[in-house]
């Protein structure tokens, strides 16, 4: 059965943050790479499947704020999330101030989330085995002569990790993760 994309923000049956046409346009504008070239191979259904799989994976992240409605299918749109980098420094007063629209609206999906979805969808479509990075992400050190393996206890479980480029897009939108600091009170 073919997958149909529903990218209506806040909809109860939404399964993607972007349409296939938006994804195709973004990938077409990417710097030419083998990943971008492979995106258009196959049929639209395979790209739709990659988009929905990427959405499902992104929705497992712990984002700031709260869902805008109780009935929406996806994590975004959210309420109470400040847009990253919205402070403006004024030379007159010397103090930063917030511009009036520095929070995402209850109907807005950040561009960062859409770009993360596209990057992850391209990655998933081109790596049919799913998310399998280099395989050594869970180790700080791997030495072959005299076999010296040092596990990296600070990272996430490798099987559920997303590519670093996708991580970068989500900076400032998640509760924790690279680029974000989780604060725990004692």
Query: Is the preceding peptide bond at 77 cis, omega within 30 degrees of 0?
Result: yes
Q: What is the pLDDT of residue 155?
A: 47
pTM of the predicted protein model:
0.74
Number of domains in the chain: 1
Q: Are 161 and 136 in contact (CB under 8 A)?
A: no
In a domain, 12, yes or no: no
Parent domain of 117: 20-78+109-169
In a domain, 119, yes or no: yes
Kindly report, residue by residue over 141-175, the tens digit of the pLDDT.
Answer: 666 677 666 655 554 444 567 888 898 899 889 98
Beta strands in the chain (DSSP E): 66-67, 78-79, 87-89, 96-98, 139-143, 148-151
Kindly report, residue by residue over 129-147, the tens digit of the pLDDT.
Answer: 555 444 455 556 666 677 6
In a domain, 102, yes or no: no
In a domain, 135, yes or no: yes
In a domain, 100, yes or no: no
Per residue, the 3-state secondary structure of 58-77, as one string, reads: HCCCCECCEECCCCCCCCCC
* Token pair for 161: 């990790």
Kindly report, residue by residue over 32-80, the tens digit of the pLDDT.
Answer: 666 677 888 878 999 999 999 999 999 999 999 999 999 999 999 999 9
Q: How far apart are CA 154 and CA 61, in angstroms?
A: 17
In a domain, 8, yes or no: no
In a domain, 164, yes or no: yes
Distances (CA, A) of 43 to 40, 125, 132: 8, 11, 23
With a CB cutoff of 8 Å and minimum separation 6, the contacts of 140 are 150, 151, 152
How many other C-beta atoms can be found within 10 angstroms of the C-beta atom of residue 53?
19
């Amino acid at each position: 059965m073919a997958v149909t994309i529903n990218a209506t923000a806040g909809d109860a049956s939404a399964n993607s943050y972007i349409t296939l046409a938006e994804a195709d346009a973004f990938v077409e504008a990417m710097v030419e790479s083998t990943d971008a070239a492979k995106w258009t191979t196959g049929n639209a259904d395979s790209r739709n499947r990659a988009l929905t799989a990427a959405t499902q994976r992104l929705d497992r992240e712990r984002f700031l704020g709260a869902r805008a409605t109780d009935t929406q299918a996806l994590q975004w749109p959210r309420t109470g999330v400040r847009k990253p980098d919205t402070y403006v420094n004024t030379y007159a007063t010397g103090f930063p101030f917030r511009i009036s629209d520095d929070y995402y609206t209850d109907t807005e999906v950040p561009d960062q989330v859409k770009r993360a979805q596209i990057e992850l969808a391209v990655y998933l479509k081109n790596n049919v085995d799913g998310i399998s990075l280099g395989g050594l992400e869970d180790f700080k050190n791997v030495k072959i002569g005299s076999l010296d393996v040092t596990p990296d206890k600070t990272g996430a479980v490798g099987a559920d990790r997303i590519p670093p480029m996708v991580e970068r897009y989500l900076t400032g939108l998640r509760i924790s993760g690279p680029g974000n600091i989780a604060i725990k009170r004692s």
